[in-house]
Amino acid sequence: MDRDRQPEADATRDRKRELGIELLASLEVESIPLAEAIDRIETVTTSPSLTREILDAARKRGVIDREDGRIRTRRGGTSVSPEEGITLREGTFECRRCGTSISTGHFIEFETGELGPFGSSCVRMVLGREE
């Protein structure tokens, strides 16, 4: 029975890893402390081992550099635009980053899938538009 679930679990882990890498690639800042990068990755996963996989894979793919406790983006961010890369939905949501109840969810659209919901200020913070 567990063997039947394993491919599903692996697919979910792979999807989360790819979402995390895409999120790091979309950061609109040149450099952030490692702790802030992890804060953003925690919107994808709270698993320490998967967080490490995301950081290692992003480094190996040339998305980021890690140096002296900082993450530097190597591609300058893919810049998710509000018009194209963020979908707004009305409803009853809980912000994926801060846990606040929100009535408008902001969902970031990546190739791998969507990430959210976020409140308006948290989506800007996750993308590196404000600190």
Is the omega angle on the peptide bond into residue 117 within 30 degrees of 0, that is, cis? yes
Q: What is the Cα–Cα distance from 100 to 113, expressed in whole angstroms?
A: 23
What is the pLDDT, as a whole number, of residue 40?
92
What is the pLDDT, as a whole number, of residue 80?
56
pTM of the model: 0.81
Please give the order of strands across the beta sheet that includes 64-67.
Answer: 31-33, 70-73, 64-67
pLDDT (tens place) for every residue of the chain, 131 residues total:
445 557 777 789 999 999 999 999 988 888 899 999 999 999 999 999 999 999 999 999 999 999 899 999 876 545 555 556 899 999 999 999 999 999 999 999 988 889 999 999 999 888 876 65
What is the pLDDT, as a whole number, of residue 1?
45
What is the pLDDT, as a whole number, of residue 30?
86
Ramachandran bin of 53, using left for φ above 0, alpha for ψ from -120 to 50, beta for the remaining angles: alpha
